[in-house]
Amino acid sequence: MNRDRGNREWLNDYMSLKQVNPNNPFTVPEGYFDSLNEIILSKAGLEELKKNNSTGFTVPENYFDELAGNIQARINLEEALDKETTGFNVPEGYFDELAGNIQSRINLEETLNKESTGFEVPEGYFDNLQQQIQSRIFVEEALNAQSEGFSVPENYFDNLTANILDKTTLEEKVQRHGVVRKLFATAAFKYATAACLVIAVGGTIFLSQNANTPQEAHNNSFLHQSLSVIPVDDIQNYLQSHLDISDTHTLMDETKQADAENLTHDLQSALDSTSQ
């Protein structure tokens, strides 16, 4: 930048300074001043917008004037609240030891709960207990309510004791005159009688069953009696046409016991007998 030379005679007194090139030694980026105009104008426009408060937001009157005071008052209040004591005190070091004490208590409680008292209850007992109690109460109340429908003669309970004593005393008096025991009234006799009857009936049945031989038992069976009226030829024809392996086994098992040594002969005999 070249300057217009003004009155610079004073430089004559300062030769070293006079020898220095008075032109501006500083430079700027290329095009800087061209863009500087636009930048400043844009910023000025933004300032104008801020000034006009175009955001539309407003605050109550004197808000910002009072804001600093309100903030300070709030700070003071917060500090006062922090310092305030509720009047309650705790022993020294209480909160430091509290966590440890709680943990010890928890451990103790767990240990006590684990200890077995030797008593047990059915599974789910306590879960249902309340409901059971309530049901019982309901039943009891219902019964009590029902019993209210019954009545007794006047002074019944007052006289009951005396009546019972009278009766028992009278029986004792009668018994003193002689021991009379009823043979057929005692409970022991009744049980003995019942036992004898059972033995008699059971024995009869047992003996009657054992009296029959297998052959007699078979002859007396319903099957035999039913088949006896059917001709033998008809039976044989039926067996021949409808015999299968299971029938063979059944016949073999039921006719006679196989002789292990003569199994083949016995089998053939069985087959022959059925095929005939």
Partner 1 sequence: MSVQVEDSEILRKFQDEKTRNEAFNLLLKKYQQKLYWHIRRMVIDHDDADDIVQDTFIKIWKNLPGFRSDAQLYTWMYRIATNECITFLNKKKQKNNIPLDDVAYELADTLADSSYFNGDQAQAKLQQAILTLPEKQRLVFNMKYYDDMKYEEMSDVLGTSVGALKASFHLAVKKIEIYLTSRD
Considering only CA atoms, give the Rg of the chain: 62
Give the pair of three-digit tokens for residue 113. 């709960």
259 close to 266: Cβ distance less than 8 angstroms: yes
54 binds partner 1 (CB under 8 A): no
Report the C-alpha gap between 23 and 90 in whole angstroms. Answer: 81
Query: Cβ 46 to partner 1, closest distance in Å?
Result: 9
Query: Cβ 61 to partner 1, closest distance in Å?
Result: 24
Query: Cβ 39 to partner 1, closest distance in Å?
Result: 6
Q: Which stretch binds partner 1 (CB under 8 A): 1-9, 96-104, 177-185, 234-242?
A: 1-9
Report the C-alpha gap between 217 and 257 in whole angstroms. Answer: 18
Query: Cβ 89 to partner 1, closest distance in Å?
Result: 46
- In the complex with partner 1, the residue whose CB is nearer, 36 or 137, is 36
Query: Cβ 53 to partner 1, closest distance in Å?
Result: 15
Report the C-alpha gap between 267 and 66 in whole angstroms. Answer: 125
Exposure string over 142-176, b if 16+ CB within 10 A, otherwise e: eeeeeeeeeeeeeeeeeeeeeeeeeeeeeeeeeee
Quote the DSSP letter at residue 122.
-
3 close to 23: Cβ distance less than 8 angstroms: yes
- In the complex with partner 1, the residue whose CB is nearer, 27 or 117, is 27
Report the C-alpha gap between 165 and 154 in whole angstroms. Answer: 19
Give the rounded distance of the alpha carbon of 175 from its chain centre: 66
Specify burial of residue 187 (Cβ count, 10 A radius: 0-12, 13-18, 19+).
exposed
Query: Cβ 66 to partner 1, closest distance in Å?
Result: 25
- In the complex with partner 1, the residue whose CB is nearer, 43 or 136, is 43
Long-range CB pairs of 16-23 (<8 Å, 24+ gap) are: none
Q: Say which amino acid occupies 98.
A: L
Query: Cβ 33 to partner 1, closest distance in Å?
Result: 6
- Taking CB under 8 A as the rule, which mask of x and - marks residues 206-245 in contact with partner 1? ----------------------------------------
Instruction: Give residues 12-51 in contact with partner 1 (rule: CB under 8 A).
Output: 14, 16-17, 19-29, 32-33, 36-37, 39-41, 43-44, 47, 51
- In the complex with partner 1, the residue whose CB is nearer, 29 or 149, is 29
Q: Which of 3, 176, 177, 242 binds partner 1 (CB under 8 A)?
A: 3
CB atoms within 10 A of CB 53: 10
- In the complex with partner 1, the residue whose CB is nearer, 26 or 157, is 26
Question: Count residues contacting partner 1 (CB under 8 A)?
Answer: 32
Which stretches of the chain bind partner 1, using CB under 8 A? 1, 3-4, 6-8, 10, 14, 16-17, 19-29, 32-33, 36-37, 39-41, 43-44, 47, 51
